[in-house]
Amino acid sequence: MTESASILSPRPFLGVLSSALGRTWIERCDPAQSTLALAIAQTHGVPDILARVLAGRGVGVQEVESFLNPRLRDLMPDPYQLTDMEAAAEHLAEAIIARKTVAIFGDYDVDGACSAALMAEYLRACGVPFAIHIPDRITEGYGPNIEAIRALKEQGADVLVTVDCGTASVDTLGAAKELGLDVLVIDHHQAPNELPAVSALVNPNRQDDLSGLGYLCAAGVVFLTLVAVNRALRAKGFFNANAEPDLLASLDLVGLATVADVVPLVGLNRAFVRQGLAIMRRRGRLGLAALLDTAGLSGAPESWHLGYLIGPRINAGGRIGDAALGAKLLLTDDPVIAGRLAAELDQLNRERQAIEQVAIAEAEAQALLMLDKDPGLPLIVAASAEWHAGIVGLIAARTKEKTNRPSFAFTLNGEANATGSGRSIPGVDLGRAVRAAVGAGIAIKGGGHAMAAGVTIRADELDRFKAFMAERLQDTYDRAREADHFAIDSTLTAGAAKPEIVTAIERAGPFGSGQPEPVFVFPHHRLMEAREVGSGGHIRVKLRGGDGSFIGGIAFRAAGQPLGQALSDAVGSPLHVAGTLSIDRWGGGEKVELRVMDAAKPE
């Protein structure tokens, strides 16, 4: 039930062939889905607008109830469906019973921090000693390294569990095994043909796994692993003398990682996020509560808050500070420590934003020069010796947004090797292309997902890498651009955009990757104002409908961009304005706000 499941009508919505962002607007629901929407509304008694949102995402009449109310117990698979899960559960259960010291090796992003905290929280509840190591992005890089593993062994580790990494670490984990460690891998990254020789490697994306759970983030896989461990311990009688950990209370971590890692919000992931948000709203985890307060979020957190407010702050530690801060924050049960760590991460995030602004401007300038020379270029590859290695992923993301092309950003720093990060557009698999570059000997190491990838190359091979990737991605990029339409769910007026409408629409959430937020057009509304606010280039707008009603909104990072220019030029005139809706509950009241995503002049 994704956007790609819809057969989109080629007829332009409201006649918009080229919007402010150069896109053709189309109606998300084709005629068959419009008929389905009517059937959903009549059968289930839901508002017409919610029925259209459901039909546009491929939800059938018989699926409506389960889709609107995803229950974990209905969607949870048997963990043993995953290859090697039974072996992993057995090894961990035996380690817990024997009270062996477990070393957890994670990744420096949100998914890695949540995965490490999940595992550690479970071990702590079982009374098992553990140590967490999150590698430094700059000095250690991604994935297990033997120096850190040797140090963990010297500190008394008996078992090594890698989370959100390790699938491709054949040599390193082989060396870890030679040190006498029992090695387990719990991961979700796309897997190479050769896997490490470890006691168990649980990864739904390994080529011999038939579970169909490849859409999970690492924290989701860790959660399933702990369910399996719980089963094994119960069978061994461990809980006859020990309290059973409350796994459901850890779903806030799974939900956060699922949103922040931008995995598809389908199937089990929807239940993870829905349940995780419910737990997060109870504010029982001191670290997350402190971070919510630091981010200025006083109301109930929604899915988008996890991706735009919480995720970046946890990531900031791994980008430009102490990579372990996120995991420490998520695990602490001391309110003073929670407040201090949250404040530190918030400050690091502010510093990251300041560093990022200059780098993004430089990357965009490089991108424009490349496109001037070759307008059909299928990807952007930007590089600088001045960029901090911790922000290259953010630079790539912003460049991708600016150019609507897959983009890489590399930091050179005068070293022999260049470290880069890439972000893609729907329909272009970046992870697969990077692995092909590794296989061709053009990249030293690399991998990732369809939408994001990391890569290390020799600094003097930058042009060769660019040429290889351009050739590799050209066909899929061309096909993706042909299908680059802006899908509209429905029209609304300022007067009709009431909180109860938004509440009804939110029942189809959570929204995110693979489950796009509903987009509504306010047609022929007069743009009363468009002014820049804040330091991030945001533009605040106010629209007036034909009945005199108003709705306010904001276009994020639009100043100086085509959308911002179109809004500024249209002040005082009628305009079609498209965006998503949310409820602003600031000050105890409720009002609907529009997040502006595009605009077009009426014919």
Are residues 424 and 395 in contact, defined by beta-carbon separation less than 8 angstroms?
no
Choose one of 225, 245, 265: the last residue of a domain: 245
Q: Sorting pLDDT into bands at 50, 70 and 90, what band is 368? A: very high
Shared domain for 415 and 497, answered yes or no, is no
- 3 state DSSP class of 530: strand
Shared domain for 104 and 225, answered yes or no, is yes
Range of 225-229, 424-428, 480-484 with top mean pLDDT: 225-229
Shared domain for 466 and 496, answered yes or no, is no
pLDDT over threshold 70, residue 9 = no
- pLDDT for res 342: 97
Per the prediction, the chain carries an average pLDDT of: 93
191 domain residue, yes or no: yes
Shared domain for 164 and 210, answered yes or no, is yes
Are residues 534 and 547 in contact, defined by beta-carbon separation less than 8 angstroms?
no
pLDDT over threshold 60, residue 1 = no
CATH of the domain at 511: 2.40.50.140
Q: Sorting pLDDT into bands at 50, 70 and 90, what band is 2? A: very low
- pLDDT for res 375: 92
The model's pTM is: 0.88
DSSP, res 242: S
14 domain residue, yes or no: yes
Are residues 406 and 477 in contact, defined by beta-carbon separation less than 8 angstroms?
yes
DSSP, res 516: P
Mean pLDDT of 571-598: 91
289 domain residue, yes or no: no
Lowest mean pLDDT among 111-115, 261-265, 444-448, 539-543: 444-448
pLDDT single digits (tens) 211-247: 999 999 999 999 999 999 999 999 999 999 999 999 9
pLDDT single digits (tens) 486-511: 999 999 999 999 999 999 999 999 99
Shared domain for 465 and 516, answered yes or no, is no
Mean pLDDT of 416-432: 91
pLDDT single digits (tens) 124-176: 999 999 999 999 988 888 889 999 999 999 999 999 999 999 999 999 999 99
- pLDDT for res 10: 55
From CA 260, how far away is CA 276, in angstroms rounded?
A: 13
Residue 169, burial from CB neighbour count under 10 angstroms (0-12, 13-18, 19+):
buried
260 domain residue, yes or no: no
pLDDT over threshold 70, residue 5 = no
Shared domain for 409 and 558, answered yes or no, is no
When divided into structural domains, the chain yields a total of: 3
Shared domain for 478 and 515, answered yes or no, is no
Mean pLDDT of 449-456: 88
329 domain residue, yes or no: no
356 domain residue, yes or no: no
Q: Sorting pLDDT into bands at 50, 70 and 90, what band is 4? A: very low
- Which segments of 63-158 are extended strands (E)? 102-105, 130-133
Choose one of 419, 449, 483: the last residue of a domain: 483
Choose one of 429, 460, 483: the last residue of a domain: 483
Shared domain for 425 and 522, answered yes or no, is no
pLDDT single digits (tens) 54-63: 999 999 999 9
Shared domain for 222 and 117, answered yes or no, is yes
Shared domain for 456 and 505, answered yes or no, is no
Domain ranges, residue 122: 74-245
β-sheet bridge partners, residue 485: 24
CATH of the domain at 451: 3.10.310.30
Shared domain for 411 and 516, answered yes or no, is no
Shared domain for 170 and 207, answered yes or no, is yes
